[in-house]
Amino acid sequence: MTLKVGQLEAQPGEHVFGYLKTAASRSGLSPDFPIHLFAGAEPGPTMLVQGAIHGGEIIGSIAILNFIGKLDPKTLRGNVIAVPVVNRVGFELGERGSRLDGKDMSRLFPGKKNGSVTDQAAYVYFEEVIRQANVMVDFHAGARTAYERYVLFSAEADPNNLTELEKMRRKLVVAFGLDQAAFFPPGTFGNNSAKEAIDGAGVAQITLEFGGGTGWFKNGADNVRDAERGIWNILKSMRIIDGAFEADGDLCTVYNAGVVIWKPDVDGLFVRLKAFRDELKAGDVYGQLLDPYTGDVLADMKTPKDGIVIPSGQEWPTVGATSIGILGTIDRVEDRRTADLYVY
């Protein structure tokens, strides 16, 4: 079957690259989307993999480029849509949103036909790209000052009575291959109507919070490798390709990430005193904010509740960030040796 996104078209067995036209700013700048289409030789479901919808979060971009360099559409039962950089304006400036109108596209879906440039771009992307996907793999990272390594997915309305989409998502979370995953209880970071719109379109979405920060130099190559490994695992889970799953290990710990340590309204040098997986009691000091010139302690940052530190949080100099660290309780531990990892 022909794979068609906007004006771009790929015939079965073909790889096509082009820019999906969107809206233009008032002076005519147009942040068109760079899109790779891989139309499988045989029919099947469609995976969308995207990077840098937040322009400074680029690990997915590198992993996606490595992935598409090896992907042969003639071997696929289904399709792949790959977008290495969704937010080109933010990418150029190393920023989360778009300076054209100050908006964060990841929060705008399903977009607006007649809004500002990012509203309109979100509309085109949602209609032309996201709606075509059965599964969406969305890469984020810690940008310059934070480090993260877990699969994020939306909280389930009723964990004892899962929808088909939620069941699928649970499998994708484990299939991706990291040893940790998390969901935020509703309202932790405000409501996210964009995720609801994507769910409403019947697209099973997982988000990767993966890499970034000063850890780039220590773990960057490993994270890029494991990010790419995860993309291949999702193709296997969808039966678009065959092959064994590869992962960090047999177990995937799923956290209910309900404890956020917020930064006080002063800036400074953040020093973390706790490590990933440390267990904290309410009131324990997680880290300190120091005056970067005198070393004076400006604030002790304490956890408001008991929890385990999940791999997410600020690493070093921290100016402006609002959340410093995330703690959670273990919701469940999935065992890859016995889990069904296939969504089709």
Q: Which residues bind Zn ion (CB under 5 A)?
A: 54, 57, 140
Residue at token pair 């400036």: 93
Neighbour-count burial for 236-250, b at 16+ CB within 10 Å, e otherwise? bbbebbeeebebeee
Strands (E), the chain: 3-5, 8-10, 15-20, 33-38, 42-50, 77-83, 135-140, 146-152, 180-183, 204-210, 251-262, 268-272, 279-280, 285-290, 297-302, 307-314, 317-318, 323-335
Q: Residue 207 Cβ, how far from Zn ion at the closest point, in Å?
A: 8
Whichever of 143 and 173 has its CB closer to Zn ion, that residue is 143
Structure tokens at 293: 């010139």
Q: Residue 104 Cβ, how far from Zn ion at the closest point, in Å?
A: 9
Secondary structure (DSSP) of 81-143? EEES-S-HHHHHHT-SSBTTTTB-GGGTTT--TTSSHHHHHHHHHHHHTGGG-SEEEEEE--T
The one-letter code for the residue type at 96 is R
Q: Residue 140 Cβ, how far from Zn ion at the closest point, in Å?
A: 3
Residue at token pair 């820019």: 19
Whichever of 38 and 216 has its CB closer to Zn ion, that residue is 216
Structure tokens at 323: 């959340």
Whichever of 39 and 121 has its CB closer to Zn ion, that residue is 121
User: Minimal CB distance to Zn ion: which residue?
Assistant: 140
Q: Residue 236 Cβ, how far from Zn ion at the closest point, in Å?
A: 26
Whichever of 140 and 272 has its CB closer to Zn ion, that residue is 140
Q: Residue 267 Cβ, how far from Zn ion at the closest point, in Å?
A: 21
Whichever of 104 and 228 has its CB closer to Zn ion, that residue is 104
- Distance in angstroms (rounded) separating the CA atoms of residues 13 and 102: 40
Bridge partners, residue 181, by sequence: 151, 254
**3-class DSSP state for residue 181?**
strand
Q: Residue 264 Cβ, how far from Zn ion at the closest point, in Å?
A: 23
Q: Residue 329 Cβ, how far from Zn ion at the closest point, in Å?
A: 24
Q: Residue 138 Cβ, how far from Zn ion at the closest point, in Å?
A: 9
Whichever of 128 and 209 has its CB closer to Zn ion, that residue is 209
Whichever of 57 and 128 has its CB closer to Zn ion, that residue is 57
Count Cβ atoms within 10 A of the Cβ of residue 157 and give its class: 0-12 exposed, 13-18 middle, 19 or more buried.
Answer: exposed
- Distance in angstroms (rounded) separating the CA atoms of residues 262 and 269: 15
Whichever of 126 and 210 has its CB closer to Zn ion, that residue is 210
